Amino acid sequence: MSATSTISSAGIGSGLDVESIVTKLMAVESQPVTLLQTQEAAVQTTLTGYGSLKSALAQFQTAMQGLTDITKYQSVSANVADPTVASATAGSTATAGSYGLEVSSLAQAQKVITAGQTSDTAQIGNGVITFDFGTISGGTLGANGQYTGATYTSAGAPVKTVTIDATDNTLSGIRDAINKANMGVTATIVNDGSGTPYRLSLSVGSTGAANSLKISVAGDPALANLLNQDPAGTQNLTQTVTAQNAAFKLDGVAITKSSNTISDVISGVTLNLAKTNVGSPTTLTVAQNTSGAVTAVNNFVAAYNAINKTFTDATAYDPTSGSAASLNGENSVLSIQSQISNIMSSSISGAPSTASRLEQFGITFQKDGSLSSDSTQLQTALASDPQGIASLFASQGTSTDNLISFSNSSTLTKPGNYAVNISQLAVQGSTTGFAAPTTTTITAGTNDSLQVQLDGAINTITIPPGSYTSAGLANAIQSAINGNTLFSTAGSSATVTQNNGILTITSNKWGASSSATIIGGNAAANLNGGGAATVVAGADVAGTINGVAAIGSGQQLTGASSDASAGLSILVNGGSTGSRGTVSYTQGYAYQLNSLMTTVLGTSGQIASRIDELNADTKAMDAQIAEKQQMLTQVEANYRAEFTALDVTISNLNSTSSFLTQELASLAR
């Protein structure tokens, strides 16, 4: 081989194991890259751990959110000893008690029926049928289903009209027209099997004595003869069911209501009357129901134990094997765990001393950091203080004044006891002084319109035609106002009352935006006999919370933003001005833990911040690895070039050596 021979494979010319030498050299050169890759794998493991922890904390927060609802801890049940007489339900505001219940009559809706007709498809006549609802009083109801000597007083609600023409002037057509009007009266046709079998039956949709029908017809005599029904005059229909109120006694107190469903007799309790029981009173019992609170407490304990195990597993270390869990040594994890522990080990600020710590309700920590609940101690604590459990877990406010109630709070509100002082009670806007004569006749197009200003909005209402007493006119005006679309869409309504023939119109809103008055209309002249009207401007409640001027809006008073009571909103429902006691605001364990999770899991929270850091570390290591790998490619190329040159040199030297050896050998011959 000549000295200028080309080496086709490293090591051939020299006999060196160049490939092995380069591989070993590159293994040494690659150690920094290997170290970075190992570090990156560890970071990825930590990121996976944070992902799992984030998911677990989100589930924990969901559990805590469900436990911040105060009603879960303040469940009240209502039961009737004889469930055939009535049933009852109770809300969280109901107070425990026992009541004797005796029902003498159930509320009924009126039913009337026409005289029989030979056909339900034969034409009867055209006209306008007017339906009015009111009360029948006095007189007697005969066996024929008609009244003698009775009077009828309209309830003042807008009358309903149904127009009958040639398209529906049969008995079946009248039935369909009434039902289509959807006015609270259902019409059916009854076939009694007689020679004139077809009878139109009318059923009123609402129970109560004030929902009796007066029907008048303007049109063909045949239609009028069929349907005219004035309980105090001509009665062409037969009453088959009398409109009546429910009448009952509660602890001996006589009560009447228009419905069998009654929710305004016992605060927070709804009664549903089903049967009379005169002479055999039954018992209505309202009692605290602790089952909801027990369930909520058990759910809290389970949720806490689940997240506690997540932390334990994620930060574990086995000294025997030297292996560590994915989040072992992570300061962010230890910080979150510490914050949870601090909340759980602290008393609830502002709560009663008897209901401020977990152990007072039988909830204690175990050696492994988990919680355990003693059901016997929990039931005992609930029996002695059924309301206290709410302050232990939920966010709530309580007032020492029965006419002041907690409404809401904000994230700025600090737990504590806040003194309340009222300098101005809220006022509803009203106007008094419109006259309502003892008898007022309203005629369509003549004196049936009023221009009303309500809470800053102005619109014209129409009073149904008819003859009204003072009370009836007040009811009619109120119904027309509250049935006005402009007012109802704006959330406004009014109450109209009369006293000795003088009307008062009052906005149902409270506060400075509240106002109510009549400013015009063709019926205004009928109401000008009351002298100068007295206008009362609406006003917002005013006062201080925690000694700092609060913000009033209607009956709501809210703590100033500069104070610890910021965002604390209370409802002042009357009473007097001056000192009104205190409002206590507490944030229970579930509330605090939910708030903590919101912070921890937020976009700038500890979890997100640490994940961002780890992702940045990964990105930086990827860049370093790529850079070093590029450098290693060049280093390897350099090594191979050097060994190739060495191989050529050695090969040439070997060739020269062989040549000299041959020459020396020839000289020796």
User: Is there a single domain that holds both residue 141 and residue 205?
Assistant: yes
> Mean pLDDT over residues 420-434, rounded?
94
pLDDT at 450: 92
Average pLDDT, the chain: 90
Q: Single out the residue in 191, 213, 244 at which a domain terminates.
A: 244
Bridge partners, residue 200, by sequence = 189
Choose the weakest-confidence range: 169-178, 398-407, 640-649: 640-649
pLDDT at site 225: 96
Res 532 pLDDT > 90: no
CATH code assigned at 469: 2.60.40
Query: Which pLDDT belongs to residue 648?
Result: 75
Tokens of 195: 């020679």
Residue with tokens 């009052």: 506
pLDDT (0 to 100) of residue 130 = 92
35 falls within a domain: no
| CA 251 from centre of chain | 35
Same domain, 446 and 490: yes
| Same domain assignment for residues 508 and 554 | no
| Residue 10 pLDDT | 56
Tokens representing 543 are 């006062």
| Share above pLDDT 70 across residues of the chain, in percent, rounded to a whole number | 96
Q: For residue 646, what pLDDT is reported?
A: 78
Verify that 179 and 134 share a domain, yes or no.
yes
Q: Does 599 map to a domain? A: no
pLDDT (mean) for 642-654: 78
Looking at the structure, tell me whether residues 116 and 167 fall in a common domain.
yes
Taking the CA atoms of 560, 565, 570 and 576 in sequence, report the sign of the dihedral they define.
Answer: negative
Do residues 418 and 548 both lie within one domain? Answer: yes
Residue 13: per-residue pLDDT: 53
Q: Is residue 195 part of a domain?
A: yes
Model confidence pLDDT, tens digit, residues 363-393: 999 999 999 999 999 988 888 887 788 888 8
Q: What is the enclosing helix (H) or strand (E) of 198?
A: strand 198-204
Cross-strand bridge partners of residue 214: 132
Check residue 114 and report its DSSP letter: P
Average pLDDT over every residue of 601-623: 90
Whether 474 is covered by a domain: the verdict is yes
Which pLDDT score is estimated for 531? 57
Q: What is the pLDDT of residue 4?
A: 43
Arithmetic mean of pLDDT, 528-533: 61
Q: Is the pLDDT at 149 greater than 90, yes or no?
A: yes
Radius of gyration of the chain (CA): 44
Q: CB–CB of 421/455 below 8 Å?
A: no
What's the CA angle centered on 148, arms 147 and 154, to 5 degrees? 60
| CA 269/CA 147 separation, integer angstroms | 38
Q: How far is CA 374 from the centre of its chain?
A: 32
User: Do 152 and 257 share a domain, yes or no?
Assistant: no
CA distance 633 to 641: 12
Neighbours of 317 (CB within 10 A): 11
Q: Which of 381, 368, 393 is nearest to 300 (CA)?
A: 393
Distance between CA 187 and CA 274 in Å, rounded?
25
Cα–Cα dist 348/341, whole Å: 14
Q: What is the 3-state secondary structure (H, E, C) of 491-549?
A: CCCEEEEEECCEEEEEECCCCCCCCEEEEECCCHHHHHHHCCCEEECCECCEEEECCEE
pLDDT over 90 (residue 634): no
Tell the residue number behind the tokens 């290693």, with chain if given: 632
* Residue 117 sits in the same domain as residue 205: yes
Q: What is the pLDDT of residue 11?
A: 55
Q: Average pLDDT for residues 472-476, to the nearest whole number? A: 85
Average pLDDT value for residue range 388-416: 91
Average pLDDT over residues 277-306: 91
Look at residue 72 and tell me whether its pLDDT is greater than 50: yes
Q: What is the band of 70 on the pLDDT scale with cuts at 50, 70, 90?
A: confident
Tokens for 100? 């004797």
- pLDDT above 70 for 87: yes
Over residues 641-648, mean pLDDT? 77
In this structure, is residue 36 part of a structural domain? no
Q: Look at residue 12 in the predicted model and tell me its pLDDT.
A: 55
Cα–Cα distance measured from residue 649 to residue 539, given in angstroms and rounded to the nearest whole number = 107
The last residue of a domain, from among 503, 521, 536: 536
Q: Which of 642, 543, 602, 571 is nearest to 11 (CA)?
A: 642
637 CB-near residues (< 8 Å, 6+ apart): none
Total domains present in the chain: 4
Counts of helices then strands in the chain (DSSP H, E): 12, 40
Read off the pLDDT band of 524 (50, 70, 90).
confident
Same domain, 516 and 545: no
- What average pLDDT score do residues 14-35 get? 80
| The pLDDT of residue 6 is above 50 | no
Name the strand (E) or helix (H) holding 185.
strand 185-191
pLDDT band at 7, cuts 50/70/90? very low
> Are 162 and 283 in a shared domain?
no
CA distance 641 to 476: 108
Strand partners, 518: 452
Nearest to 505 by CA among 451, 454, 465, 439: 454
Measured CA distances, 443 to 420, 463, 651 (Å)? 53, 9, 130
Q: Which of 502, 507, 505, 504 is nearest to 531 (CA)?
A: 502
Residue 15 confidence class, pLDDT cut points 50, 70, 90: low
Nearest CA to 107 out of 259, 240, 265 is that of 259
Q: pLDDT band at residue 481, thresholds of 50, 70 and 90?
A: very high
More confident residue, 338 or 352: 338
Confidence of residue 654 (pLDDT cuts 50, 70, 90): confident
Least confident of 72-86, 256-270, 557-571: 72-86
Residue 180 lies in a domain: yes
In angstroms, rounded to a whole number, what is the distance separating the alpha carbons of residues 614 and 626? Answer: 18
- Higher-confidence position of 114 and 29: 114
Q: Is 137 contained in some domain?
A: yes
- Average pLDDT over every residue of 33-46: 84
- 587, 609, 624: which is the final residue of a domain? 587
In a domain, 466, yes or no: yes
Q: Are the C-beta atoms of residues 474 and 503 closer than 8 Å to each other?
A: yes
Residue 582 lies in domain: 404-426+541-587
Least trusted range by pLDDT, from 36-50, 63-77, 405-419, 524-538? 524-538
Q: pLDDT (tens digit, 9 = 90+) per residue, 200-252? A: 999 999 999 999 999 999 999 999 999 999 999 999 999 999 999 999 999 99
529 and 545 both lie in a single domain: no
Q: Read off the tokens for 499.
A: 């006293």
Residue 370 has what pLDDT? 93
Residues 146 and 191 in one domain: yes
